[in-house]
A and B are shown apart, each in its own frame.
Chain A
Amino acid sequence: MEFFLISLLNGVTYGLLLFMLSSGLTLIFSMMGILNFAHASFYMLGAYFAYQISAYVGFWPALIVAPLTVGVIGALVERYGLRRAHHYGHVAELLFTFGLAFLIEEIVHLIWGKAAVDYRVPGSLEGTLFTLFSTSFPIYKGFMMLVSVGMLLALYGLLTRTRIGLIIQAALSRPDMVEALGHNVPRIFMLVFGGGAALAGLAGVIGGNAFVTEPGMAAAVGSIVFVVVVVGGLGSLAGAFVASLLIGIIQTFAVAIDFSVTDMAAALGIDLAGGSNLARLSISQLAPVLPYLLMVAILIFRPRGLMGARES
């Protein structure tokens, strides 16, 4: 029971972090149809900016300033790069963001070097929030969960309950009509892209000190965020949320299972002890592959994802 509850808690925490990482990506993709390969790079920029800013003025101002800076960079990228690439179709956009990811990584190398930087959790968030059985749950993880849920609510509220949200939604499905009504559609796109980048930046501010801030951090999360978006359904914020939690929980529980095909056969009375190495792999060793398996299965059986609105 103890093990189950703590694993569940771990799974939910990990899932919420995944949501933080992928919400910006799903926003940009659903609104603009751009598959942003540089999304994880904005996450990395957020962490490095927060490290730099918190060195001067502390963590709390950095929590606000770093995502805003990343957002401004995102908006500039959209305005002066992506908008031009847009004229040449989706492939050009894709290649543009792909190149951008490499560019950002090199810039990070040049400015902060290739080793990890010393970006720490602020003292006020260190310590134990509560103790479940004998396992303590750190305050910082609670803070991470809070921000993630807050992000979901704020985004949902912004898109469905405010005037600007309505214009954004309208601009995405009927850009010509919205433009005819006097709204500046390119500027809305710029805002959406900047906003998505800022969300990634915020995830970086919070994830960077919870884990390690180093130039490889973008590459490390680059692929899993796409899995979340695909499994959740292209263009669905709620889908991304559900998918994040699902992947977090599956992966956490899989780690706990030391069971292999050989063991399973042994339980059924078949001796496979001399069998192949493949049969001896335990589920815990397979845990990191499971999200990708899930993605492939979803693409085969339900291409629009768990809660996707569109087929493509």
Chain B
Amino acid sequence: MSDKKMHKWVLAGCLMAAVTTAAAQVKIAYIDPLSGLMAATGEHGLKDLQFAAERLNARGGLNGQKIEIVPMDNKLSPQESLTLLNRAIDQGIRYITQGNGSSVAAALIDAINKHNARNPDKAVLFINYAAVDPDFTNSKCSFWHFRFDANSDMKLEALTNYMTKEKGIKKVYLINQDYSFGHQVARTARNMINKKRPDVEIVGDDLHPLARVKDFSPYITKIKASGADTVITGNWGSDLALLVRAAKDAGLDANFYTFYAGVIGTPTALGEAGVDRVFAVSYYGPNSAPARTQKYIDDYKKKYGATEDPYTFSFVNALELLSAAAAKAKSTDPAKVAKAMEGLRLDGPFGEITMREADHQLIQPLFIQRFVRTADAKLKYPAQGTTEYGFKEEVKLDGAHTSQPTNCQMQRP
């Protein structure tokens, strides 16, 4: 290449760089684990977010500005996340999203509140897509925090309501992971069952270490000895798969009510062991989705492969609401968008969604689904990572039936 040609290329490159910065962009920092034990979950979330952003960008983004996702690896550590938050703010990023681990979310909310109080003209908005600690929309609620997943109390309310109608349930066993989330599930499930089904006996309440148990047989032996017919668990990942598998091996005849049976990797790991006995509560019900949502799922599968699954629809909801709010506010400034988003109501992918003004909790439909063989139930969409198994709708709850009272005292700027 001659010198002259080289110059041309360099010039073109400079021009292109100038053009990209000129077309204003809205950057969203995705702060979640992209390495370590939870990397698979973090990467899947990132993929779903990027896909949702591409779709929105094709339709014009936020008021004509394209959304750009900036992935940041927090290694599931609150400390690391705060460093990344500062880095994002230094880069001028005003939208932050995170979901894995309520401990991380709590640290971020706290830091963002402080930052926004000090820099009201550079306020940052937090999109919480999966951290389900109820406190974030109750005692610790913040104007800058918006939650797009149902919190754990809402999910348990839906599950226990469903269980109320199942007259076969006599004895319930609670088994959960030994950390804040597991403790919360155990406590709330106990309270709700005592209230709704006083005739049901809670025959056991176990906590086991997070992601460390290989063989759940001892726990299953204990559950069996207790005579339980139903198990409630907030377990996720391998902790759920191994629990169900050990139950099947030992011939435990009990149903499992779970939160996360549909999440990445788990359907594959459940396999035949989970058929007909695993229930999950979630906002994602592909087989009950309206046509336009199924089109979205089809396009996703076309791009990433048939067994991939855009599970994280909280991102779709988040971006749709952001774009509607930005249009309403005629601005992409987080403070204005946050104001406009309060109380905003949209026709969501699975039904009506509302961003509740009082506590910034998204009110959306929830599904209670049963793990089945796709062929038996004639399901169109299998679960993530498999073709043989999927989730069949048992109940769909409208937003109104999933909402819970809040004691949030919102401080608005």
What is A's interface to B at a CB cutoff of 8 Å? 2-3, 6-7, 10-11, 13-14, 17, 109, 113-118, 120, 128, 131, 134-138, 140-141, 207, 211-212, 214-216, 219-221, 251-253, 255-256, 284-285, 287-288
Instruction: Assess A135 versus B251: contact at CB under 8 Å? Given A114-B43, A212-B269.
Output: yes
Residue of A nearest to B241 (CB): A212
What is B's interface to A at a CB cutoff of 8 Å? 37, 39-40, 43-44, 178, 206-209, 211-215, 217-219, 221-222, 224-225, 238, 241-242, 249-251, 264-265, 268-269, 271, 385-386
Contact A135 B265 (CB under 8 A): no
Contact B271 A120 (CB under 8 A): yes
Instruction: Assess A214 versus B265: contact at CB under 8 Å? Given A13-B215, A288-B213.
Output: yes
Contact B40 A10 (CB under 8 A): no
Contact B249 A10 (CB under 8 A): no
Q: Give every chain B residue within 8 A of A288 (Cβ-Cβ).
A: 208-209, 212-213
Contact A116 B209 (CB under 8 A): no
Contact A118 B217 (CB under 8 A): no
Interface residues of A: mostly helix, strand, loop or mixed? helix
Q: Give every chain A residue within 8 A of B208 (Cβ-Cβ).
A: 255, 285, 288
Instruction: Assess A115 versus B40: contact at CB under 8 Å? Given A214-B238, A255-B219.
Output: yes
Q: Give every chain B residue within 8 A of A140 (Cβ-Cβ).
A: 249
Contact A219 B37 (CB under 8 A): yes
Contact B268 A135 (CB under 8 A): no
Residue of B nearest to A118 (CB): B268
Question: Contact partner of B214 among A131, A134, A211, A215, CB < 8 A?
Answer: A211
CA distance A11 to B212 in the complex (A): 17
A selection of 24 A-B contacts at a CB cut-off of 8 Å is A11-B218, A14-B214, A17-B215, A114-B40, A114-B43, A115-B44, A116-B241, A116-B265, A116-B385, A117-B268, A135-B221, A137-B250, A140-B249, A211-B238, A212-B241, A212-B269, A215-B39, A215-B40, A216-B211, A255-B208, A255-B222, A285-B178, A287-B218, A288-B208
Q: Give every chain A residue within 8 A of B218 (Cβ-Cβ).
A: 7, 10-11, 251-253, 255-256, 287
CA distance A284 to B212 in the complex (A): 14
Instruction: Assess A10 versus B213: contact at CB under 8 Å? Given A3-B225, A212-B238.
Output: no
Instruction: Assess A118 versus B271: contact at CB under 8 Å? Given A13-B215, A212-B238.
Output: yes
Contact B385 A118 (CB under 8 A): yes
Closest CB in chain A relative to B106 CB, distance in Å: 20
Instruction: Assess A138 versus B214: contact at CB under 8 Å? Given A117-B268, A118-B386.
Output: no
Contact B224 A134 (CB under 8 A): yes
For the A-B complex with A17-B214, A137-B250 known, give 6 more contacts whose Cβ atoms are closer than 8 Å.
A113-B40, A135-B251, A211-B214, A212-B269, A255-B222, A288-B208
Question: Contact partner of B206 among A116, A135, A284, CB < 8 A?
Answer: A284
CA distance A134 to B224 in the complex (A): 9
Q: Give every chain A residue within 8 A of B271 (Cβ-Cβ).
A: 118, 120
